[in-house]
Structure 1
């Protein structure tokens, strides 16, 4: 049985847990290209985190919101390093602890603490709604950030009368080695990636910024809108992309495994299925299933095959296929008939089944009419 993602190439932009995500995708047949878009910088020695922690100890909060497991653990580890671990645990044990999801809940409990409440949706929006319904006027609320400011969340609380203390536990920055991200961006723009995955909003923003620095922002957005399936682990992650009009698929629950399951459904659903002669063809990203047999097809022959498959049985003249190859390669000059003939020959060899692509003398090429 052919694996559900066989024939597809998936880009992974994650910094953390990239190996896990890549392994899950490869286990389902995908070819994975990893280009980390960010790196996480812990703030154990950061003056802002130290100041916020000491402020919390001096003036305890009524409510503390833990948004991420890694962030909460990093906060506790930093406090231990400053000799404030016991004091911070004591302060948190007397406050109302809210956790955004199971990972934050697990980190809170690992610290010997117990949360008061966690949302079913694992979303900041539900946490905010819970706080507003509980009444926040005159209350001091500490919010552990998850790598970037939660402006809407914090501003809404302040607008409702709360005093908000932001806890900046870690931040994102550009990768130390930008080369893998640049290579991934090149492959995306060249049409060699079928799906692109994101597990954090900063990674999405970083990729858009990297494209912008190269003058390729519009080209990237166009590819993500029209050609590449974009998968995000949740709505917060999707934010930078949806704001520029990129459609995304995302699981109901923000889990890496659930994101992979979404791709397992969504990518094959985009496959083009046609009949040629007596054979069933399923055009995947970088390969074709010929009667269930997976046949890798190089990019240029695949471009020709897609053009032929869009009008099964219809003859496409050589100049039309030449224009297809010109668009595929980004060339500005015309593609001659010899190049078309050579590409068709490579396509026939890749498909491995005689007679699927027929020559119509003096006219061009077509997929064999179904029989």
Structure 2
């Protein structure tokens, strides 16, 4: 990617991604499209843990490292982490990917089932389809938005679902960098745009829609090259008519950068 301008819509790992772009000789163009807003209710968590000591749920599904960390930070503050750990010890623990796995292991939580790559809802459901879940109580740690695909699939299989909100996704307070990126795309000044979540796609087009620039954004992205971190993100891009030039396997940051660099090479 030497001498190429690479647009980065990532927020949390944005600087890490920018450093990798620089390492390969590229120029990063930062335009964060996502903000993570804390959205956890300590009173609700306290009530749930108290109730679960008597009525232990059958299955817990943990989807993100950030969410698991926020959940345990709350139980730590409430002084009920030990009770929560005991509840998890008496239930089946299902994990979507390596990040929630790492946090759970740091709290010495036994993990029963881990989704395989690329760590999407399909892999989680494949784990659960091994045995019937009809009538089971399933607790789902939500990420930025409700995972409606997962929730509807669980309910269709007869499960009773409780969702734990830990954070929510929002537009960044300052959306000017996204407007600047649209201008740069219009001027053909961007070689590749990197999307690392589906929500970045929706937020970018939400800003464009507000400015009456949706069609121009679609055209600009399709004139440039587009990199998607994985299948869920790719589906979102295709909904807006965007072609995807790069998608790594597995969907992780290191392979993502390697795939981008290889595409230019």
TM-score, normalisation: structure 1: 0.67
Q: How does 1:133-212 map to 2 (within 5 A)?
A: 133-212=130-209
1:220 to 217, 221, 229: 217
Residues 159, 31 of structure 1: alpha-carbon distance in 2 compared, 3 angstrom cutoff: same
Q: Following superposition, which runs of at least 4 residues in structure 1 exceed 4 angstroms of deviation?
A: 45-58
Counterpart in 1 of 2:36? 40
Residues 51, 183 of structure 1: alpha-carbon distance in 2 compared, 3 angstrom cutoff: farther
1:50, 1:242 → 2: CA distance? 41
Which structure has more relative contact order (CA 8 Å, sep 6+)? It is 2
Contact 1:234 1:251 in 2 (8 A): yes
1:242 to 238, 241, 244: 238
1:48, 1:38 → 2: CA distance? 26
Report the number of matched residues: 263
Contact 2:49 2:83 in 1 (8 A): no
Q: Deviations over 1:3-42 (max 9, x none)?
A: xx11211111111111111111110011101011111112
3-state SS of the aligned residue for 1:134?
A: coil
For the pair shown, the structure with the greater C-alpha radius of gyration is 1
1:209, 1:49 → 2: CA distance? 33
Q: Is 1:95 the equivalent of 2:91?
A: yes
Unaligned runs of 5+ in 2: none
TM-score, normalisation: structure 2: 0.92
3-state SS of the aligned residue for 1:245?
A: coil
Contact 1:52 1:165 in 2 (8 A): no
1:171, 1:49 → 2: CA distance? 16
3-state SS of the aligned residue for 2:161?
A: strand
Q: Deviations over 1:223-278 (max 9, x none)?
A: 223x121112112233321212212221111211111111112234xxxxxxxxxx
1:52, 1:204 → 2: CA distance? 34
Unaligned runs of 5+ in 1: 269-371
3-state SS of the aligned residue for 1:107?
A: helix
